[in-house]
Structure formats: structure tokens, C-alpha cells
């Protein structure tokens, strides 16, 4: 039986993407409190059509928590291309070696999360964990998003030009702890393709009330990221919603 196609987010969600500006201002004015970091390296990968400039607040926040935080240094994210994984593997290896073989946590925003997952599959021995934010890793040929036309413009190809084998492989979770942060009010990507099909030990989904353009500076998303990064390596535990989280989620 063929599954029903997943439609793009409704127009009202798209209209609400403007709240990303207020999410940014709110976070700048009141940075969340999170557990102290242990100084391990973190690489943040931006979303489609953006560069390291878009992840500046997130990286600055993590640096204040004592993480060794870096951008991807690949310029504008122009879509999924095989050569990008080769370039990112060089970047990952550089950070891994720079810190004496200490594993690197990977954070990816939207399409950046797809890259982070695939990179961790290729180099699990160098990856501590992966955190994705609104990342469409369960996309297939029947899926429509509100960014398809932008993807085709920037990448020079359609989603349908990517081989079915590659698209299918994207669905598989990496062999390292993975946290998929998603929003049911996402106005760009259907939330249903941004979550793991099944949660298990080291595999979890976290819902946050964020816009798609606000994931990297939404206060609750930063709280979740700080909590996940602070876990002791090798001792994974599921995310627990604190009273503060619940209060802000309902606000």
C-alpha cells in the first residue's frame, strides 16, 4: 500500500514565520540557563540558503557554556551534494584532531541537520552526538515543502534528481545519540519528516514551539540543546521537561 503524500505546512504557519525576529530578540534579552559544558568541540551546520552568520547567536551561546564551538566554514548552504560530505569530513577530522581525539557533537539546522546525520554515519568514531533542528531527513519523492523552489534554485537540481537509494538512506538514524528537535508550527518543512519514526535508547524527538527560521535562536530550543550537550559521554538519558520548560512552552 502506498502511503499518503505529506503536504507542505499550512499557509497560516508560513505567515507566522515572521515571529523568528521576536524569538531572536527574546533570547538575546534573556539567555536561558543550562548546565555547564565540559569543553568538548561542537560544530554547527546552517540550513539551506544560509551561512555561518545565521548560527552566530547559537554558537555564541554555546561558547559561553565553555564548549569549543565552530561553524562549518563552507559558505552558503546550496543544497545536498555528495562533495559536501567530503568537505565536511575534512572539517570534522580537523576538529577531532585539534582536541586530541575528542569526539565532536554535531548540530544541524534544517538541511544542515541532514548533513550532520550523514556525517555521523560515515564517522561515528569521531562523533559524540547529533542534534537536528527542523531537519527534513525523512523526505521522499512524495513530500512537498514550502522551500522546494528555493532548493531547486540554489542547488541546481530537484529533490527527484537525488537517487531513491540516497533518500532512503537518509531515513536511517545514525549509530550515535540523536536528538531531533521539531515544531508543529514550522512554516517551511512538514514536522512529520523531521522526527525519528521510532524512539529508542539514544534516539529521541523533542517538540518545541519554534518557527523554522527561529530554531537557532529560540529560547526553548537552546535550553534543549544545552541539556543534551551537557550529558556525560556514554551515559545518555532521555530529555526531561523541566517546570521552566513547561511554563514557557505553554506561554
C-alpha cell at 58: 547559537
Query: For 57-73, what is each residue's pLDDT tens digit?
Result: 999 999 999 999 999 99
Q: Flag whether pLDDT at 242 surpasses 90.
A: no
Q: Which CATH superfamily is domain 11-246 in?
A: Alpha/Beta hydrolase fold, catalytic domain (3.40.50.1820)
- pTM across the whole model: 0.94
Q: Write a three-state SS string for 37-101.
A: CCCCEEEEECCCCCCHHHHHHHHHHHHHCCCEEECCCCCCCCCCCHHHHHHHHHHHHHHHHHCCC
Q: Flag whether pLDDT at 4 surpasses 80.
A: no
- Residue keyed to cell 521537561: 241
- The domain ranges of the chain are 11-246
Diameter of the chain by CA atoms? 51
Q: What distance in Å separates the CA atoms of residue 151 and residue 5, rounded to the nearest whole number? A: 19
pLDDT for the residue 141: 78
- Residue keyed to cell 552526538: 129
Q: What distance in Å separates the CA atoms of residue 119 and residue 182, rounded to the nearest whole number? A: 20
Confidence of residue 244 (pLDDT cuts 50, 70, 90): low
CB contact at 8 A, 40 and 67:
yes
Q: Flag whether pLDDT at 1 surpasses 50.
A: no
Q: What distance in Å separates the CA atoms of residue 55 and residue 235, rounded to the nearest whole number? A: 28
Q: Flag whether pLDDT at 251 surpasses 50.
A: no
Amino acid at each position: 500500500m502506498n502511503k499518503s503524500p505529506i503536504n507542505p505546512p499550512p499557509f497560516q504557519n508560513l505567515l507566522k514565520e515572521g515571529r523568528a525576529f521576536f524569538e531572536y530578540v527574546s533570547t538575546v534579552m534573556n539567555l536561558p540557563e543550562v548546565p555547564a559544558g565540559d569543553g568538548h568541540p561542537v560544530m554547527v551546520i546552517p540550513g539551506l540558503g544560509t551561512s555561518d552568520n545565521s548560527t552566530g547567536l547559537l554558537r555564541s551561546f554555546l561558547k559561553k557554556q565553555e564548549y569549543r564551538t565552530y561553524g562549518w566554514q563552507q559558505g552558503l548552504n546550496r543544497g545536498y551534494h555528495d562533495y559536501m560530505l567530503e568537505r565536511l569530513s575534512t572539517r570534522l577530522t580537523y576538529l577531532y584532531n585539534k582536541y586530541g581525539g575528542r569526539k565532536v557533537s554535531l548540530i544541524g539546522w534544517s538541511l544542515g541537520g541532514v548533513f550532520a546525520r550523514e556525517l555521523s554515519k560515515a564517522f561515528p568514531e569521531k562523533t559524540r552526538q547529533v542534534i537536528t533542528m527542523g531537519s527534513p531527513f525523512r523526505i521522499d519523492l512524495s513530500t512537498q515543502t514550502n522551500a522546494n523552489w528555493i532548493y531547486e534554485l540554489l542547488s541546481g537540481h530537484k529533490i527527484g534528481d537525488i537517487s531513491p537509494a540516497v533518500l532512503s538512506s537518509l531515513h536511517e538514524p545514525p549509530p550515535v545519540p540523536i536528538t531531533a528537535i521539531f515544531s508543529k508550527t514550522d512554516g517551511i518543512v512538514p514536522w512529520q519528516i523531521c522526527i525519528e519514526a521510532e524512539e529508542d535508547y539514544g534516539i529521541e524527538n523533542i517538540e518545541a514551539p519554534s518557527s523554522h527560521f527561529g530554531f537557532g535562536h529560540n529560547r526553548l530550543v537552546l535550553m534543549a540543546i544545552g541539556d543534551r550537550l551537557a550529558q556525560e559521554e556514554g551515559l545518555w538519558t532521555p530529555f526531561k521537561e523541566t517546570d521552566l520548560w513547561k511554563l514557557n512552552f505553554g506561554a
